[in-house]
Structure 1
Amino acid sequence: MNSEILKEICTTKMPFGKYKDRILADLPISYLEWFQRNGGFPKGKLGMQLAT
Structure 2
Amino acid sequence: TNSEQYNFEGRGWGHGIGLSQYGAKQMAEEGYTYDEILKHYYTGVTIK
TM range (shorter): 0.3 to 0.5
TM-score by length of 1: 0.32
- Structure number having the greater helix percentage: 1
Indicate the structure (1 or 2) with the bigger Cα radius of gyration: 2
Higher relative contact order (CA 8 A, sep 6+): 2
Q: Please, what TM-score do these two structures have when normalized by structure 2?
A: 0.33
